[in-house]
A = this chain, B = another copy of it.
Amino acid sequence: MHAARDVRIETVPDAGIKEATDALIRVTRACICGSDLWPYNGQDFRGYPLPMGHEAIGVVEAVGSEVRTLKKGDVVVMPFAFSDGTCAFCHEGLHTSCRQGGFFGSLDVGGAQAEALRVPQADGTLFALPVGEDDALMPSLLTLSDVMGTGHHAAVVAKAGPGRTAAVIGDGAVGLCGVIAAKRLGAERIILLGRHADRIALAREFGATDVVSERGDEAVERVMDITGGMGVHSVLECVGTDQAVATAVGLARPGGAVGRVGVPHYDTIPSSLPAFFKNVTVGGGPAPVRAYINDLLPDVMEGRIEPGRVFDRAVDLSGVPEGYRAMNDRDAIKVMVRP
């Protein structure tokens, strides 16, 4: 991406092993992410040009001399952040704070909307899947690289669970996966805040019990009506604007929790005083999706959750610019890339 709205497919030097801990993967599936739309719209804190893409499934083509757990031919899912799997934070399950870690989609590491990609810290980063590269479950497995794990993180931080109500702010792929996650964790009532008919329909199939299409104070009023004036225990904030966070705090029941996973495009968390007097907790951040694959994979393999249904369009590399346009115009929920 060379500038806002300027997405080009370019031939670059082949990716290859640089460090002994690297793997080289041939990308078989990648995605366009809602967070890719921030630089697409010129609203990003990094500069251009940006190699794009941080979600992938691929086949290992080569490994560095120190890679122990992977071999050529392995089908792997790649979390959006790389991590060594051995530091204190990785041991605590917070792989996105790995002391040797980082994020894909940078000039240094490259992006996954490509034919091939160098994966640092391959042993810690990649998760070998028990399927072939064209398995029917590929769309759902691909969501384990980001959106399903991110929705799950929002639900975990928001303490979704049995006997509790949840609200999910945002009907993008992460919000929809947040609905799946809240339901999977046992939330009894799940209110989606969204306004696109196709996404709302999918959210209902995923387990949303109520839909609120208002925004801001009006949305808070509607949720208060639905919850008998109490608010919800768990708020999954899957947008990343200041309005969304203010709404999240407004929706929360006293003692409730907000899990924010939308990359913040705001400097401060608003509604500090209401959050204080309600004893509302605001947490979240980049999801440690690497840690969550262990939890989520069995449910995907056995068909109990189908997060791959968020993909409603697939493109090859040449179709990536059109994919950005479609997601940005809300013509597509989430676009799969098949290089």
A contact residues vs B (CB 8 Å cutoff) = 88-89, 92, 94, 96-97, 157, 230, 254-255, 257, 260, 263-264, 266-273, 275-286, 288
Contact = CB atoms under 8 A, between A and B. Distances in A.
A269 B267 contact: no
B276 A260 contact: yes
Nearest to A97: B254
Contact of A279 (B230, B269, B283): B283
B283 A280 contact: yes
Contact of A278 (B257, B260, B270, B285): B285
A56 to B, nearest CB: 22
Given A230-B88, A268-B268, A268-B269, A278 B97 contact: yes
Given A94-B255, A254-B89, A255-B89, A267 B275 contact: no
16 contacts: A97-B278, A157-B281, A257-B283, A264-B272, A264-B273, A266-B272, A267-B270, A267-B272, A268-B272, A269-B272, A275-B285, A276-B284, A278-B285, A279-B283, A281-B282, A281-B283
A28 B280 CA distance: 35
A333 to B, nearest CB: 24
A239 to B, nearest CB: 13
Contact of A282 (B96, B254, B269): B269
A285 B283 CA distance: 15
Contacts of A254: 89, 94, 97
B268 A277 contact: no
B97 A255 contact: yes
A297 B278 CA distance: 25
Contacts of A260: 276
A316 B284 CA distance: 49
A94 B255 CA distance: 7
Contacts of A92: 255
A286 B277 contact: yes
Nearest to A273: B264
A267 to B, nearest CB: 6
A290 to B, nearest CB: 14
Nearest to A229: B99
Contacts of A288: 279
Contacts of A278: 97, 285
Contacts of A96: 279
A279 B268 contact: no
Contacts of A272: 264, 266-269
Nearest to A266: B272
A60 to B, nearest CB: 29
A116 to B, nearest CB: 28
Nearest to A285: B279
Given A97-B278, A269-B275, A279-B285, 19 more contacts: A89-B254, A92-B255, A94-B254, A97-B254, A157-B281, A263-B276, A264-B272, A264-B273, A268-B269, A268-B270, A268-B271, A268-B272, A269-B269, A269-B282, A275-B285, A276-B284, A277-B285, A279-B283, A279-B288
